[in-house]
Amino acid sequence: MSDRPIIRVQHIVKSFGDVKAVNDVSFDVRAGEIFAFLGPNGAGKTTTIKMLTTLLRPTSGSLELDGLDPTAHPTEVRKRFGVVFQDPSLDGDLTAWENMDIHGVLYHVPRHARRERCEALLRMFELWERRNDLVKTFSGGMKRRLEIARGLLHTPKVLFLDEPTLGLDPQSRNQMWSHVQSLRASEGVTVFLTTHYMDEADRVADRIAVIDHGRLVATGSSAELKAQTGSDSLEAAFLALTGTTIRDESATAADQMRQVMRVWRR
Amino acid sequence: MSVIFILWLREVKKYVRSRVQIVTSLGGPLMYLGVLGFGLAPVFQRAGEGSYLQFMAPGVIGMTVLFTAMFSGIAMLWDRQFGFLKETLVAPVPRLAIMIGRTLGGATVAVLQGTLIFVVTLIAGFRPASWIAVPLAFLVIGLIAVIFSALATAIGSSLKEMQGFQMVMNFLVMPIFFLSGAIYPLEGLPAVLAGLTRVDPLTYGVDGVRGLLTGRTHFGVALDVAVLVGVGVLFVLAGAWRFSKIEA
């Protein structure tokens, strides 16, 4: 583990019109750690991930991923991370293998290495038997596993997981985190995750940052956050830090589309 | 290059696998061909214009290509939120390559769908004046497909809501079709309508295909092709520009 942080975020701000979705946030993520980014709905988690993954430009402040600025060197930065978005980004009309293969081409993984790594990852995530089936026939848990496997195909240094266990049953969630932990051991990949399940963060994360209303309210290990708030569980610590008010986000176009998709999926 | 190819291949594979959609999307053009084609045939004949089926078959082919190509824009909106588009947007490849791969893929699908309708018109009784010109007609069909796939990309990149596309269909796609001279001759139109038909790129597309397939053309095939190439370059540039601006 090197001393230089793999992700360095300094005083970033992202405004949408008058709203500051992310307001003066700074933190470091060390190479090889599992870093959990927690916060209520609309706190700025996804916006931060989008900035780190080159999909949004920060309004001000500086970002670094493996020493590179995502806004100045998007292509170089993109080679260095894999990402699983909150909403699915698989092609349901293609097979698991085809989804993997296209990813390999997009990331310039040479043909031979591509085949080997696709096979190794599909086996590891227990999808090898189903590799020639269309992804739309997969369960929610299988799709998530496939997305993670795909995100790892080009051996990234950082893996971003934005609420990867949302909508999964406890069995699938449990299995998912076992996979993530063994990956860190075998590949040394840094994992940056968001989740609403505090027990998950407590179990897998080395360090945790809590964001609320676009501002960072606490950073530290699970034990440190509990000690800081005098709580006996991470959930209690989280509520102590962010309050108990329910956050009503105004519905965006994406939310409306999610609504439609839920109906369509039945 | 391999990036463009694999994204093109993806679109074509998806098309070939969607057999139900292929069949159902033939419904619209078939209705125009069957109901209008045979319904208006006697009037057309009496007006001394000859066979209406011969006249409108190229128009229905143009319509099919237009609708299929524009539909890829709707697919893109969906794809952006719940699909594969984001995967390509964070990949370490130029946006231009992604846009070209998608647009060529969408255009290829539109040409394939146009080919199916061409076969259907043959079954219905349409006969090209000369078979030698058929490949040339397909080059023009390809140009139409590229133009509207690029336009769909530009619109799909600029819109955020599905509802927006309904408006695009009503206020852009339908007028493009109705003003194109696909279903009526361009000769002797009122001045306003004549003016509108001239700013519609599909007019030149349908006229070019009709000229090559039946020998009947209003502007001349050379002018048609020149306009189509010009508009094509413009729309591809616009599509590439809008696509490069997408923030997810």
CA distance B5 to A102: 10
Distance from the first to the final alpha carbon of chain B: 25
Within 41-80 of A, beta carbons closer than 8 Å to B belong to 50, 53-57, 75-76, 78-79
Q: Which of A109, A194, A195 is nearest to A151 (CA)?
A: A109
pTM of the model: 0.87
CA angle A58, A62, A68 (to 5 degrees): 105
Total number of domains in chain B: 1
Q: Which of B207, B24, B192, B1 is nearest to B96 (CA)?
A: B1
What CATH number was assigned to the domain covering residues A5-265? Answer: 3.40.50.300
CB contact under 8 A, A106 and B86: no
Q: Judging by beta carbons within 10 Å of its beta carbon (0-12, 13-18, 19+), is residue B130 exposed, middle or buried?
A: exposed
Domain membership of residue B134 as a residue range: 2-244
Q: What letter represents residue A58's amino acid?
A: P
- Spell out the per-residue pLDDT of chain B, length 248, in tens: 899 999 999 999 999 998 888 888 888 888 888 898 889 999 999 988 889 999 999 999 999 999 999 988 778 887 887 788 889 999 999 999 999 999 999 999 999 999 999 999 999 999 999 899 999 999 999 999 999 999 999 998 888 777 777 788 889 999 999 999 999 999 989 999 999 999 999 999 999 999 999 999 999 999 999 999 999 999 999 999 999 988 76
CB contact under 8 A, A78 and B91: yes
Residues of B contacting chain A (CB within 8 angstroms): 2-3, 6-7, 10, 13-14, 17-18, 78, 81-94, 160-162, 247-248
CB contact under 8 A, B92 and A108: yes
CA distance B217 to A128: 57
Beta bridge partners of A28: A8
CB contact under 8 A, B84 and A98: no
Tokens of B40: 């208006």
Half-sphere exposure of B231 (CA within 13 A, CB side): 23
Quote the strand ranges of chain A, DSSP E.
5-16, 19-30, 34-38, 60-65, 81-84, 158-162, 190-194, 207-212, 215-220
